[in-house]
Amino acid sequence: MDPVLAIIGRPNVGKSTLVNRILGRREAVVEDVPGVTRDRVSYPAEWTGRKFTLVDTGGWERDAKGLHAMVAEQAEVAVSMADAVLFVVDATVGATATDEAVMRMLRKSKKPVLLVANKVDDFAQEADASMLWGLGFGQPYPVSALHGRGVADLLDAALEVL
Ligand code: GDP
Ligand code: MG
């Protein structure tokens, strides 16, 4: 079976946009309104000749549990099925309380985690990405899922731990 790379993070950080960028086509649903991706969706993917399975996550409804709990719970299921994780944070917003809830869950799992600072659309925004060092996953990878900036370097690094 191909190794599994799960993309996790709170709603609206750009997970589905990143999935589409990696697949090279628009397949995952991207919405300006948070919470559009239903549960977990798997896609066969390939990078530099290596095949892997990409898992997009989402589908959190705002129920009584609240957003933090839903995001953390979805992420936990995705992480349990994954060989490695891309933890996506919106660099233009910075780390939120929900991001920190996900971060604590990821710490407990022993899976390799790459921290993705998304929405770094140009060089000037790389300073926003460095603020995310504080999440404790080392060097954040600054990317623009929308424009493709930094995604090749991210995938090279992801395949090294997959
Ligand atoms: P998800 O909920 O995490 O799957 O996020 P989506 O992929 O649905 O994206 C949410 C919103 O962020 C959409 O309006 C995207 O166009 C936007 N977005 C995603 N990636 C980027 C990026 O790299 N730069 C910018 N400026 N916007 C982005
Ligand atoms: Mg989505």
- Give the pLDDT confidence score for residue 26 in this predicted structure: 75
29 Cβ closer than 6 Å to some ligand 1 atom: no
Query: Which residue's alpha carbon is at the smallest distance from atom 22 of ligand 1?
Result: 119
Cα–Cα distance, 151 to 155 (Å, whole number): 6
Domain membership of residue 126 as a residue range:
4-161
Domain holding 97: CATH number? 3.40.50.300
Q: Could you identify the atom of ligand 1 that is nearest to the CA of residue 20? A: 7
pTM: 0.91
Q: Binding residue per annotation — 148?
A: no
- Mean per-residue pLDDT of the chain: 87
Using the mean position of ligand 2's atoms as its centre, give its distance from the Cα of residue 46 in Å: 20
- Give the pLDDT confidence score for residue 63 in this predicted structure: 52
| Band of pLDDT at residue 65, cut at 50, 70 and 90 | low
- Give the pLDDT confidence score for residue 38 in this predicted structure: 53
Strand extents, DSSP E, the chain:
4-8, 40-47, 50-57, 84-90, 113-118, 141-142
Considering its fold, how many domains does the chain have in total? 1
Residue 42's DSSP bridge partners are 55
Using the mean position of ligand 2's atoms as its centre, give its distance from the Cα of residue 34 in Å: 8
Q: Could you identify the atom of ligand 1 that is nearest to the CA of residue 9? A: 3
72 Cβ closer than 6 Å to some ligand 1 atom: no
